[in-house]
Amino acid sequence: LGEMLDEAAPWDDSTVLRTDDAVIVDAGVRVSLADTTVLYLRADNMFDTSYIASFRPFGARPGRPLQIRAGLRHQF
């Protein structure tokens, strides 16, 4: 994510709040165990990067923290 203005304004306006710039890495993998069964693992924000995503509506809002999901999907 690149730095961006928190409200509509000219880019050179120094009075407008700006969000942080950050590099967020997500990854996922799926493995077929059978024709009807899939094992999956997904990680969002793998390096747990802290950043301000917004200042509205009531102050600084953090971006998504590290989140890991795993599961088994089976179709009957």
Each residue of 7-38: pLDDT tens digit? Answer: 777 777 777 788 888 889 999 999 999 999 99
pLDDT reported for residue 1 = 58
3-state secondary structure of 72: strand
CB 67 within 8 A of CB 44: yes
30 CB neighbour count, 10 Å cutoff: 10
pLDDT reported for residue 27 = 97
pTM of this structure: 0.68
Backbone CA torsion sign across 61, 63, 68, 71: positive
DSSP state string for 9-59: --TT-TTS-BPPP-----EEEEEEEETTEEEEEEEESTT----EEE-TTTS
